Amino acid sequence: MEFIHKLKEIKTKFDKINEQLSDPENLSDQEKLIKLSKERSSLEEIVEAYNSYMSVTKNISENEEIVNSSDDEELIEMANAELEELETKKENLEEKIKVLLIPKDPNDDKDVIMEIRAGTGGDEAGLFAGDLFRMYSRYVEIKGWKQELIDVNDSGQGGIKEAVFSISGQGAYGELKFESGVHRVQRVPATEASGRVHTSAASVVVMPEAEDVQIDVDPNELRIDVYRAGGAGGQNVNKVETAIRITHIPTGMVVQCQDERSQLKNRQKAMKVLKARLYDLKLQEHNKEIAATRKSMVKSGDRSDKIRTYNFPQNRVTDHRIGVTLYNLSEIIEGKLDDLIEKLIIADRTEKLKVEQE
């Protein structure tokens, strides 16, 4: 098979990384160790598949030899029965390897900047945006990742107008990137006396965190305003100007952060968001170029696309991109998103595999 040569190269690279990780000379270089560990982790699944594939092909050869050279009919029958199982296993592994060999999105292992905004639907949209924020916060807890709030604008009654936060964890962007788009909710609002089901919406934007080498921001193109952070009053209002608002003049992007009591920390967080937005703008332009060539099944370049509906009366979640409906909304809204995210990842890989084979 043509992919065997490529797999051997990956296995050689994997073994070399293992040697470097156990080399005493590298133990003092934490940055290098982290980089090597991430690289090893990204290759582990495909190396395991390769080892299984080589083991299966070896067993097939051994059983074929028994069938062709043995005089023992019972042994030949057993070998033939095992060959059927082994051939099926080999075919399944080949399909799995083809998917694993699809070029990986270089951003998949990056941390994430996430933004949630209430859309149409008044107070109910704000409450739904708050529900989405809690859903992703619980998902982060389940995954053992780290979440850091950058900016939040409450709408009252437990809802939010907008929330901006970062998520750190291995493979965070790879798992969350398909969450970008318009999320729609159908339910009876707490304020609705007649029991009518209302429809409202919130938008979600997921951006990979940009590294300094990827995004170069000219300080001369920034306007930085310092102001006093707002709050609920009393002890919660800063008496000094620590909140930061950064305006990127060429694009008109405005980022603000008032979560920290330190002006420096707020500035660092705001710059992190600005760089992520500028990097994401580049990605969106690139995705639109790809979309002009082929329509993506899962990830659209258009952030205004309605991607998912949460129907509370029927405990139903429908992802419109892949046509999947699940009847466990009560679990999903509590952060149990693994099943849905896995289906989106598989759909994306399947589509990419088709393109590779065309």
Query: What pLDDT, on a 0 to 100 scale, did the predictor assign at position 299?
Result: 52
pLDDT band at 236 (very low <50, low <70, confident <90, very high): very low
Query: What pLDDT, on a 0 to 100 scale, did the predictor assign at position 285?
Result: 78
Task: Please give the residue range of the domain that contains residue 36.
Answer: 3-100
User: At which of 100, 133, 157 does a domain end?
Assistant: 100
Return the axis-axis angle of helices 30-69 and 73-100, rounded to nearest 10°: 150
268 and 346 both lie in a single domain: yes
Question: Is pLDDT at 353 greater than 80 in this prediction?
Answer: no
Task: Give the number of domains in the chain.
Answer: 2
The percentage of residues in the chain with a pLDDT greater than 70, rounded to a whole number, is 89
Question: Is pLDDT at 147 greater than 70 in this prediction?
Answer: yes
Question: Is pLDDT at 234 greater than 60 in this prediction?
Answer: no
pLDDT band at 134 (very low <50, low <70, confident <90, very high): very high
Is 286 part of a structural domain of the chain? yes
Question: Is pLDDT at 240 greater than 70 in this prediction?
Answer: no
- Best CA proximity match to 42, nearest among 178, 174, 206: 174
197 DSSP assignment: -
Rounded distance between C-alpha atoms, residue 128 and residue 4, angstroms: 49
Strands 222-227 and 198-208: unpaired
176 and 324 both lie in a single domain: yes
Is 175 part of a structural domain of the chain? yes
- Domain of 232, CATH number, reads 3.30.70.1660
Query: What pLDDT, on a 0 to 100 scale, did the predictor assign at position 276?
Result: 93
CA geometry: angle 286, 291, 294, nearest 5 deg: 135
Is 17 part of a structural domain of the chain? yes
- Domain of 75, CATH number, reads 1.20.58
Query: What pLDDT, on a 0 to 100 scale, did the predictor assign at position 77?
Result: 92
175 and 322 both lie in a single domain: yes
**In terms of residues, how long is the chain?**
358
pLDDT band at 187 (very low <50, low <70, confident <90, very high): very high
Question: Is pLDDT at 193 greater than 80 in this prediction?
Answer: no
- Best CA proximity match to 163, nearest among 112, 231, 122, 117: 117
More confident residue, 16 or 295: 16
Q: Which contiguous run of DSSP H or E holds residue 166?
A: strand 159-168
92 and 127 both lie in a single domain: no
The string of pLDDT tens digits covering residues 17-65 is 999 999 888 888 888 888 888 888 888 989 999 999 999 999 999 999 9
Alpha helices (H) along the chain: 3-22, 30-69, 73-100, 122-143, 172-176, 263-293, 329-332, 338-357
Is 105 part of a structural domain of the chain? no
SS3 assignment, position 252: coil
The string of pLDDT tens digits covering residues 280-325 is 888 887 667 655 544 454 554 455 679 999 999 999 999 999 999 9
Measured distance between the N- and C-terminal CA atoms of the chain, rounded to whole angstroms = 18
Residues 116 and 129: beta-carbon distance below 8 Å:
yes
Specify the residue for token string 């990827």: 214
Is 225 part of a structural domain of the chain? yes
92 and 122 both lie in a single domain: no
User: At which of 67, 100, 133 does a domain end?
Assistant: 100
202 and 132 both lie in a single domain: yes
The percentage of residues in the chain with a pLDDT greater than 90, rounded to a whole number, is 57
Strands 306-311 and 146-156: unpaired
The string of pLDDT tens digits covering residues 156-180 is 777 999 999 999 998 899 999 999 9
309 and 173 both lie in a single domain: yes
The string of pLDDT tens digits covering residues 78-132 is 999 999 999 999 999 998 888 888 877 888 989 999 999 999 888 899 999 999 9
Structure tokens at 211: 């590294």
Is 107 part of a structural domain of the chain? no
Mean pLDDT of the chain: 87
pLDDT band at 190 (very low <50, low <70, confident <90, very high): confident
Rounded distance between C-alpha atoms, residue 147 and residue 266, angstroms: 16
Residues in CB range of 97: below 8 A, 6 or more apart: 3, 7, 46, 49, 50, 53
Is 282 part of a structural domain of the chain? yes
